[in-house]
Amino acid sequence: MDTDHRPARLAVGVLGAGRVGSALGAALARAGHRVVAASGVSDASRQRVAERLGLTPSSPEDVVARADLVLLTVPDDALPGLVAGLAETGADLRGKLLVHTSGAYGLAVLNPAVEKGALPLALHPVMTFTGAADDLSRLTGITFGVTAPERLRPVAEALVIEIEGEPVWIEEKDRPLYHAALANAANHMVTLIAESSELLRGIGVQEPGRMLGPLLGAALDNALRLGLAGLTGPVVRGDAGTVRRHVDALILAAPEAADAYVVLARLTADRALAAGLLKPEAAECLLDALGGGG
């Protein structure tokens, strides 16, 4: 790392010491910074302040007053109100690094605080956090979506590198699409797997995870290494009859799942056709087979 851009040792405050905030606070402490104050509303958050950060929970006002870098690690919908509140209460934000970890927002959400002298950074860890003990170790080697004013870009990237992450620059205008792509992949994958597991249990499979695990592991590996060229299954084979039987079975067992299957199968067919993996006549038959299930 360019030592000219290495951040000085900072006093860090955490506003919202939930799963993400407590893990990032601990990571910054591991990198040599000092976590001096943290706030939490729920009992679980207050417990994490004590266990992960070794602190007694403080008020938000105290966190801001004592910190050089303030982590805003609250749910997305709460972030605008938190920033507005900080600006309206007259907290001294001059020269303080204000860092939020939301994927959906860029820098604009921090504007009320910037008008009061704060220095804005958006550092989004591309990882899921469960609140378990391994949350801190999960930060090692992951990417962070970084958005910052150009003059602060070296500082933002250095902070990520210090906690053993990889900074990836995301333009302000691209933040919503960036986050949509991540949520579409990770969150909807969980929903699809849970739905498939429930369907398998419904026909007597005792341990769906054992059945799905090797298949999904191979599919994910193929997708990440090969992209669409790693696609397998009835859609890319053009097996319209099989796809139709899938839809008919799902309509009877789980109509909501049938709707999702139809939408995803159409998208898969469109992508396979555009990539030359599916012939036009086969795609037409597939779309006909899917027509009655939407």
Asked if 10 and 107 sit in the same domain, the reply is yes
87 and 229 inside one domain: no
Per-residue pLDDT in tens (0 to 9) along the chain, 294 residues: 444 555 679 999 999 988 899 999 999 999 999 999 999 878 888 888 888 888 888 899 999 999 999 999 999 999 999 999 999 998 899 999 999 999 999 999 999 999 999 999 999 999 988 877 788 888 999 999 999 999 999 999 999 999 999 999 999 999 999 999 999 999 999 999 999 999 999 999 999 999 999 999 999 999 999 999 999 999 999 999 999 999 999 999 999 999 999 999 999 999 999 999 999 999 999 999 998 433
Total length of the chain: 294
Q: Range of 223's domain?
A: 178-290
Edge-to-edge strand list for the sheet holding 143-147: 34-39, 11-15, 69-72, 97-100, 119-125, 143-147, 166-169
258 vs 63, 144, 179, 212, CA distance in Å? Answer: 49, 35, 26, 19
41 with 131, same domain? yes
**Whether residue 286 is found in the same domain as residue 247:** yes
- Are both 107 and 222 inside the same structural domain? no
Residues 165, 268: one domain? no
CA 58, chain centre distance (Å): 27
Same domain (yes/no): 269, 136: no
Per-residue pLDDT, 2: 45
Cα 167 to Cα 28: distance, rounded to the nearest angstrom = 15
User: 151, 170, 189 — which closes off a domain?
Assistant: 170
Domain closes at, from 141, 170, 199: 170
CB 76 within 8 A of CB 19: no
Q: How far apart are CA 101 and CA 271, in angstroms?
A: 32
Mark whether 49 and 189 lie in a shared domain: no
Run of H or E residues at 97: strand 97-100
Residues 152 and 15 in one domain: yes
Total number of domains in the chain: 2
Last residue within a domain, chosen from 154, 170, 186:
170
CATH of residue 60: 3.40.50.720
Does one domain contain both 163 and 128? yes
3-state helix, strand, coil split of the chain in percent (to 5) is 60, 10, 30
Q: What is the DSSP string of 98-155?
A: EEE--SS--SGGGHHHHTTT-EEEEEEE-S---SSTTHHHHTTT-EEEEE--GGGHHH
Residue 77 and residue 219 in one domain: no
**What CATH number does the domain containing 187 carry?**
1.10.1040
Q: 103-117 burial, b if ≥16 CB within 10 A, otherwise e? A: bbbbbebbebbbebe
| Phi/psi at 31 (5° precision) | -80, 0
Q: Are residues 139 and 102 in the same domain?
A: yes
pLDDT for the residue 96: 97
| Cα(61)–Cα(228) distance, integer angstroms | 50
Query: How far apart are the C-alpha atoms of 242 and 181, rounded to whole Å?
Result: 29
* Range list of β-strands (E), 165-245: 166-169
- Residue whose C-alpha is closest to residue 118's, from 148, 146, 145: 148
CB 195 within 8 Å of CB 171: no
CB 70 within 8 A of CB 98: yes
